[in-house]
Amino acid sequence: MLVKFYGTRGSIPVCSPGFQEFGGNTTCIQIRVKETNNIAVLDAGTGIRELGKDFLKSGHKQDEIFIAFTHFHWDHIQGFPFFAPALVKNQKINILALGWGYKLNSLEDIFRTQMRKEYFPVQLEKMGADFNFMLLKETKKVFEPRVKKPTPVLVKTNKHNHPGGAYGYRIERKGKVIVFCTDIEHGISIDENVVKFAENADLLIHDAQYTDEELKKKSGWGHSSFNQAIEVAERANVKLLALTHHDPDHDDEFLKKMEVKCQKRFSNCFVAREKTEIEI
């Protein structure tokens, strides 16, 4: 599996000159299967705009695209109306909310509402793609791609602490594991369920919006510190840690300094940059 970061910023996109190295787009991650070139997407922050453009430019045809959501705060859905494949007639797009079935009445309404004519010039039903809204109660599901000799993909979710709720994702394929755990507030001590959820992951992508000092002032805001992300990785025996969901006030110089500091504690970690691709 190939993991590519298209949006690494939290809360709101930024575009100032000092924010170019790590990127200013909000959360969006592409997972691509190397053998088939098929993609899946995690969250639809503003980074999904570039992801969609790259997908169409590649010329690759894919019967159905999955977009899975950790939660539905604005910075994780605001790029969806600009996702170019959604404007392609008859392209099937599955909108997945795994574990949210007990908590939401309608998944479709979330996206339809943000695209009402009062807010956006093109309504959901006019985009062109065929949308399938998968609001599921279960927190574990096996997906089999529609290709010859498909390799099943096991997807699990784990609910964690965040205002309004949020889920981490664990994706397992051919013995390799990717865990995506953003928008999480551990509290006074690390959430033991998150440690267990991330156990032995080849790649853990974890929220690291704040420093320890900032976190003290941001109680209840729903995020983690750099050190908390590292502690999860250490305790879960993670092979590689990507720190993400950067605070909109953390510029390139700040994040470069934090990366050096974090690598002194946990050598196999990095601060996520837009367009960085990792093979798992």
Helices assigned H by DSSP within the chain? 48-58, 107-114, 192-197, 212-217, 226-235, 252-265
How many CB atoms within 10 Å of residue 143?
16
Low-confidence spans in the chain with pLDDT less than 50: none
Distance, in Å, from the CA atom of 149 to the CA atom of 97, rounded to the nearest integer, reads 27
The three-class DSSP label of residue 259 is helix
Distance, in Å, from the CA atom of 131 to the CA atom of 142, rounded to the nearest integer, reads 20
> Where along the chain do its domains lie?
2-279
Q: Quick one: which of 76, 99, 92 has its CA closest to 170?
A: 99
Name the residue with tokens 């997807």: 155
Task: Give, in order, the Cα–Cα distances in Å from 211 to each of 24, 33, 163, 272.
Answer: 19, 34, 20, 16
Position 147 scores a pLDDT of 63
- Provide the whole-model pTM: 0.96
Tell me the fold of 2-279.
Answer: Metallo-beta-lactamase; Chain A (3.60.15)
Check the CA dihedral 247-252-258-260 and report its sign. Answer: positive
* DSSP category for residue 204: E
Position 60 scores a pLDDT of 93
